[in-house]
Amino acid sequence: MARRMKTARSPSLRDIETYYDFKKFGWKDANFIIHPEHFYMAAIIQEDGLYRITYGEKPGLSREQLQERMEWKFKTMLPGNPDPSQYKVMNFGPYKMHQRCAEKFRVGRFMLAADAAHLCNPWGGMGITGAEEDILDLYSAKRIEKWRTVIDPVSSENFRRVHDKDPRSRVDRDDFLKMVVKSQGDKDFAREMLMGSFAVRYDFTQHYKDKLGTKDFKEEVDKIHAPVAP
């Protein structure tokens, strides 16, 4: 099955599951660090304080070289500039970033779902929130639409944001970061921003009782599957 690929930048990424006390530095459960070289994400994944640290690395390094550089990366980029004795690495997983979406999610008796159907980089958690429904042709049409209009542009901009060449001026140039700053002192606005995360969802229940006619359904599917101009 053909795939369309759109990639903002494709570095090697590292997922390191680590016990480290981010909270003593005032850090939150999810943290995104903007830096031209040492950009990374640190998010808590267990109640006992286990964090997943995801950061970019230069391509072409062996697993052994990556492990050797990990101590230097942590020393350089983590708060407190810790030595190995100050954190505990539980898992080390290198991988490559992709921005991909299959041309179709269903052909005959075969159907793709979740990461097999569409991939994006990890910044913003768009992959987890973007792959929940699975009802054949309408599922294919709507999930592709959500990938094109929400998941791909948002996750791509998140990645461009975290490795910005001039982090100090990024807030002044970034409407989203301006909204983040505003939300810190405005609970109502923060709630509105949180509601925006629901944009990746689609209410499939509206179609369960033949609310969408056969002709309209076919036209909608054909429209979503139409070729996209380069």
3-class DSSP string for 33-61? ECCCCCCEEEEECCCCCEEEEEEEECCCC
111 and 210 fall within a common domain: yes
Predicted confidence band of residue 64 (pLDDT cuts 50, 70, 90): confident
pLDDT over 70 (residue 188): yes
Q: What is the pTM of this model?
A: 0.58
**Residue 80 pLDDT greater than 90, yes or no:** yes
Is residue 230 situated within a structural domain? no
In this predicted model, which residue has the larger pLDDT, 101 or 85? 85
As a whole number, the mean pLDDT across the chain is 81
pLDDT tens readout for residues 173-184: 999 999 999 999
Task: State how many domains the chain has.
Answer: 2
- In what order do the strands lie in the sheet containing 50-57? 30-33, 40-44, 50-57, 12-19, 88-96
**Residues 90, 26 within the same domain:** yes
Domain-located, residue 19: yes
Query: What is the rounded average pLDDT of the residues 90-95?
Result: 82
Tell me the mean pLDDT in the region 4-18. Answer: 64
- Structural domain of residue 139, as residue ranges? 106-224
Are residues 206 and 130 part of one domain? yes
